[in-house]
Chain A
Amino acid sequence: MLELRDVSRRVSGVDHLSGISIRLERGALNVLLGPTRAGKTSLIRLMAGLDRPSAGSVLFDGQDVTGRPVSKRNVAMVYQQFVNYPGWTVRENIASPLKVRGTAPAEIEREVKRAADLLRLRELLDRRPAELSGGQQQRVAIARALVKKAGLILLDEPLANLDYKLREDLRAELPRLFADSAAVVVYATTEPAEALLLDGVTVAMHEGKVVQAGPTQSLYREPQDLATARIFSDPPINTIPAAAAANPARFAGATTLAVRAHHIRLQPRSASPDVYVTQVESIEINGSESFVRLDVRGQHWVMLARGIHAFAPGTSLTVYVEPEDVMQFDAAGQAIRPRREAA
C-alpha cells in the first residue's frame, strides 16, 4: 500500500502540489485523473522518489520512504514517450531490470518469454525499438515494467502518444496485464473515458490538489463538488445558475446546476422534464453521434445526441433535461445530494 500524508511540493515559490493525502491499495488500478498541469506528473515523480516532497511523508507498506532515492525503491515507470534502450533488442530491453538485479539467465529467459507472451511481443524479440511501431514500443516499455516485479508501477499517460486505434487496443488490455501483479499500480490520464474503462479507483486532481478520491464509478456518478464533475466530464459538463433554470423551484438551495452532455435530450423521458428553448450555435458530427453546441439563456452547452442531425446554426431547438440527471451544487461548489423520495 502506498500512502501519502499531507504531501506538498513547492518549486521556486510556486505550489506544484499542496496538502495531498491519499492511500492507494495493491491490486487495484489507481487512476490519477485531471487536466494537463493538474499536478499528475509532479505527484508521480514524488511517488517514484524522483523528487522529494517539500512537506509531508510518503509511506510504502507502512514504512516511511520519504527521501529514499529512486534507485533504492524498486519502482517501475512507463512514460508518455516510448522509453527503451535504443541500442538493445526487445529481448535485452525487457531483460534489463533483471540483469541489473543479477537474476539467473534461465530465469531471465523465462520471465522475458512470459512478459513477451502477455504483451504479444513474441515475434519481435530480436528487433530494436526503432524498428517497431509506437504501440509495440510502448508494449516493450510496459513489459520492462512488468518483469521488474516492482512494488510500485507508475504509468504517466502511457497511451497519449499512440494513435486512436492502438490506444483502444492497449487500453483494453491494461487491466488484465496488471491484474495479477501484486504491485500498487498508478495510472495518470487526462481522459475521463480512460478512467471509466480502467475502472478501479480514481483520484481526481485539480491545480495541484486532490479534489476527490474513491471508487471510479461513484466519483463519476456522485462527484462531491463541481471541480470533480468538471474533471470527470468529456465533453465538458454543462452548467447553469440555479436561478436561470427552467424550473428553479425544483432546485431550491442550489446555486449551480450541472448536467452531462448525453443527458440533454431531444425527447422527454418522463412526464415532467425541464424544458429549455435553445439556440443552435454549431454542430459537429462524428459518424454516429452529433455534438450540438447550444446557447441556453447565455450559457454555452454541448448536447451529445445519437445519430446524425442537421440543425442549422441560429435555429431554435427545444431540449429536455430530466430532474434526476441534474447535479446540484451550493455556492461553494459542494454537491447537494437530492433526496429522491422527497422530490
Chain B
Amino acid sequence: MKPVNQKAWLLVAPVLLLVAISAIIPLMTVVNYSVQYVGSTGRFSWVGDEWYREVLHDEKFWNALWRNLVFSGLILAIQIPLGVLIALNMPRKGWGVPACLVLMALPLLIPWYVVGMIWQMFGRVDIGLMGVMLRDFGYNYEGDPMDAWFTLILMDVWHWTSLVALLAYAGLVSIPDAYYQAARIDGASKWSVFRYIQLPRMARVLTIAILLRFMDSFMIFTEPFAVIAGGDPVFLSTELKQTVELGKKAAMSIIYFLIILALCWVFYAVMTRNDGEPGAADQKQTKGGGA
C-alpha cells in the first residue's frame, strides 16, 4: 500500500479551525442547549428530545411556520416576476442607466430597522400617508393582523424588489447583441426572445436572487419587529424571540435552521438540475453570463 502522507492534515488544519470556530462550535452549543434543561442556578440536566417534542406539538410554532412559508412564497411570487419585468424595461445605454441604477440601489442602502420605522410611520392611520389613504377601506395594521401582514409584504416588496431587478439586469446586459440579432434573423417574437434567450441566460442570477430572497424573507425579523413590535402576525423569528426557556429556544433554532437548510437545498437542486458544467472554453466574450 502507498504510504499516506499525514502532512496533508497540517495544510487543511487552518480551514478546519476557522469552520470550527465560525460554525461548528456555535451550532453544537445550541444543540447542547436543546437537549438540556437549564435551571435557575445555571445547572444543566439532560432532557433528551423533550424540547423538540414540545416545540413540534406547539400550535404557535406551526402557525408561525405556516405564516413564514406563505410570506416567503408571496414575496417570491411578487418580487421575482416584478424584478425581471423592471430589469427588462431598464435602459441599456445613455444617462438613464446610472440614474436607474442609483434609484434602484437606494432602498437597499437603508438599514433594515429604519425601513421598518419608515413603514411603521407610513402605515399609521392617524398621520401616515398610506394609512390615511387606506383608512377609509378599514385599514389599520395595529388592530388587524391581516393588515399588518399586508403592510409587511408591501414593505418587503418595496425594500427588496430592486435587488432582484439589479441581479436580473446584470444577467440581461451580459447577453451579447449577437443573440438579439440572431433572434431577429430567425424571426423570433418578443416572447420567444424572452423565453429562449433572456430567461435561460438569466437563469443563474435568478437562482441566486431566489435563494437570497427566500432565505432573507424566511428569516425576517427586524422589520416586523420594528413595525409591529413583535405582535401579530408572529413569524418564527419573532416567536423565537418571545420564547423564554433556553432549551426550547435552542430546539426551535435548530428546527428553524434545518428547515431553511432543507428548503434551500431543494430550491437549488430543482433550479440547477438542467445545468451542465460550464464549458471549459466558455465564451471569452460573454463572461458574466454564466457567472
Query: Using a CB–CB distance below 8 Å, which chain A residues touch chain B?
Result: 45, 48, 50, 70-72, 75-77, 79-83, 85-88, 96-97, 100, 127-135, 137, 161, 163
Contacts and interface: CB of A to CB of B under 8 A. Distances in A.
A71 B284 CA distance: 29
29 contacts: A48-B185, A71-B186, A71-B187, A72-B187, A77-B181, A77-B182, A79-B176, A80-B285, A83-B179, A85-B197, A86-B197, A86-B201, A87-B200, A87-B274, A88-B196, A96-B186, A127-B276, A128-B274, A129-B279, A130-B277, A130-B279, A130-B282, A131-B277, A133-B280, A134-B284, A137-B279, A137-B283, A161-B285, A163-B281
Contacts of B290: 130
Contacts of A100: 186-187
Given A86-B197, A87-B196, A134-B283, A79 B276 contact: no
Contacts of B282: 130, 134
Given A81-B178, A81-B286, A135-B281, A76 B196 contact: no
Q: Which 4 A-B pairs have the closest CB atoms?
A: A71-B187, A131-B276, A134-B281, A87-B200
A97 B186 contact: yes
B285 to A, nearest CB: 5
B94 interface: no
Contacts of B39: none
A77 B47 CA distance: 72
A83 B280 contact: no
A71 B185 contact: yes
Contacts, number: 80
B287 to A, nearest CB: 11
A130 B200 CA distance: 11
A83 B182 contact: yes
Contacts of B186: 71, 96-97, 100
A52 B73 CA distance: 48
Contact of A133 (B185, B187, B281): B281
Contacts of B278: 130
B184 A71 contact: yes
Given A77-B185, A100-B187, A130-B275, A85 B281 contact: no
B200 A81 contact: no
Given A96-B186, A134-B283, A163-B281, 8 more contacts: A48-B181, A50-B181, A85-B196, A85-B200, A130-B277, A130-B290, A132-B279, A134-B284
Q: Which of the listed residues A75, A86, A100, A127 has the most CB atoms from chain B within 10 Å of its own CB? A: A86
Contacts of A96: 186
Given A86-B201, A97-B186, A128 B181 contact: no
A128 B184 CA distance: 22
A70 B184 CA distance: 7
Contacts of B274: 87, 128
Interface in B156-196: 176, 178-179, 181-182, 184-187, 196
Contacts of A137: 279, 283
Contacts of A88: 196
A183 to B, nearest CB: 14
Contacts of B200: 85-87
Nearest to B284: A161
A72 B187 CA distance: 8
Contact of B178 (A71, A83, A97, A131): A83
Contacts of A45: 181
A330 B45 CA distance: 104
Nearest to B285: A81
Nearest to B179: A83
B11 to A, nearest CB: 33
